[in-house]
Structure 1
Amino acid sequence: MNAEVGNMAGLVLLGVLALAAGGCACVVWAERGGPRWVRYVATVTLAASELVRRSGKNRRRSLNRSTGDGD
């Protein structure tokens, strides 16, 4: 049973990696004037990366506030 869960997690991670790599390729292609669907995928990829970046910043800020109160 644990091997099945590990295999599934590996497949999910591989899928996420493939989507990220494809999105990055579309961003580069869109910069060089690719077709409309590539520009759309590039826009979605850049928006998703911005959301992830902001989420990380907010998480770090909340961690800094909680650890700095004890002095």
Structure 2
Amino acid sequence: MSSLVLGLVSIVASYTFVVPAIGLVLGILALKREPASRTMAIWGIVLNAVMLGGAVLVGLAAAAFGLAMLPFAFIG
């Protein structure tokens, strides 16, 4: 349940690295512990994995943009 909640929070609260990573770990642990809430754990894992992947892509894009603009930082 907490993995699903953290997945939903990470959608609303913008891109972060910490919240989806914690939610992903909690979702994997919930799959092993509670077979009754398997569907919620799977949805939590999917949401957190998508948000973590999105955060990584946004971070890489920002780093690439920053490196591309670095030569222009010293003009002026």
TM, length-normalised to structure 1: 0.57
- Structure of greater Rg: 1
Specify whether residues 46 and 63 from structure 1 end up closer, same or farther in structure 2 by C-alpha distance, changes over 3 A only: same
Specify whether residues 19 and 52 from structure 1 end up closer, same or farther in structure 2 by C-alpha distance, changes over 3 A only: closer
Structure with greater helix percent = 1
Q: Structure 2: where are the runs of 5+ without partners? A: 1-17
> 1:44 and 2:51 equivalent?
no
User: For 1:18 and 1:59, how far apart are their aligned partners in 2?
Assistant: 20
Number of equivalences: 55
TM, length-normalised to structure 2: 0.54
Amino acid at match of 2:27: C
Amino acid at match of 2:22: A
Aligned-residue Cα RMSD (Å) equals: 3.2
Aligned to 2:25: 24
More relative contact order, 1 or 2 (CA 8 Å, 6+ apart): 2
After TM superposition, the runs of 4+ consecutive aligned structure 1 residues lying more than 2 A away are 17-24, 27-30
Percent of pairs with identical residues: 6
User: For 2:64 and 2:28, how far apart are their aligned partners in 1?
Assistant: 29
- What's the CA shift for 1:25? 0.9
User: For 1:20 and 1:38, how far apart are their aligned partners in 2?
Assistant: 14
Q: How does 1:51-70 map to 2 (within 5 A)?
A: 51-69=54-72
Question: Are the counterparts in 1 of residues 27 and 45 from structure 2 also a CA contact under 8 Å?
Answer: yes
Secondary structure of 1:42's aligned partner: helix
